[in-house]
Structure 1
Amino acid sequence: MKYILSIFLLWCIGTTAWAQQVKEAEVPANIRTVVTQQSDKHPITLWVLDKNRKKYIASIIHVPVLRNIEVSLDGKWLRTTDALSPDQFPPAVMRVVRESYLDKGYDGSNYIYIQEPGNKRYAVDLSSDDEDLHVVLDPAGKVLSKEAR
């Protein structure tokens, strides 16, 4: 879990590099309402306004919950991303990751659950001596994309 927290914190810090951290009081009420619906009652740790990408990002950094919630400037929920440990991946998804990659010498990291309107998927970064991959799978374990890094 420490590794996941480190990666998540680096992502949050990187996000603030191209965006502006804001106080919760500066966030419009409609944005806060949408974030509250996605937060599962966890308090928001960090608010970021990304003007270039036209969205707010609310981060929850309370182990074991590591979550980013993205909302457009007009208050439309865009995405919720959760950092997970491998044992939190659904069995069908983890089975494919294990059989296709881990059992073949890859190491896994950055296990992520991504929710968007009408779309849920899982992602994992995998590395071997020969290649680094970012693999995205649907909830049934079907590989949706495999990108070399």
Structure 2
Amino acid sequence: MLEKYLRNHYKEFRHTYCSPVEQVIHPIHDQCFYLTSEHKRKLKEEYGIEPWTFEQKLGDAVFIPAGCPHQVRNRKSCTKVAVDFVSPENIHECLRLTKEFRLLPKNHRAREDKLEIKKMILYAIEQTVRDLKDLAPSILN
């Protein structure tokens, strides 16, 4: 729903130096929108979505649940370090995101599969089989 809202309202947003947003490939993964209080009000009215908005300060660590709409404002230049957390509870959301990333154009910066969710699943299955063999060797051999 957030993606739909941004596609419907993208002409109301501005880039650096107030230049209009001319092209939107994927309104969320492009990371080119920052919602004002007016846009957050409209988003809640039109779609019932309330994104998290906060200012991150020096030394702050922030944990964002999978699929949670959010935006962060940094008041000073900084380097973002992100670590994706995958758990059984959010695996469906991670698989959905991985599929979205693959559908982006080849040169899109968000296209890389950062989560590597399928590789994690294979490693988890492999470890499970090893553990089962250790627990009950006569059953699995």
TM bracket (short chain): under 0.3
Give TM-score scaled by structure 1 length: 0.25
Structure whose residues are more often helix by fraction? 2
Instruction: Report the TM-score, using the length of structure 2 for normalisation.
Output: 0.26
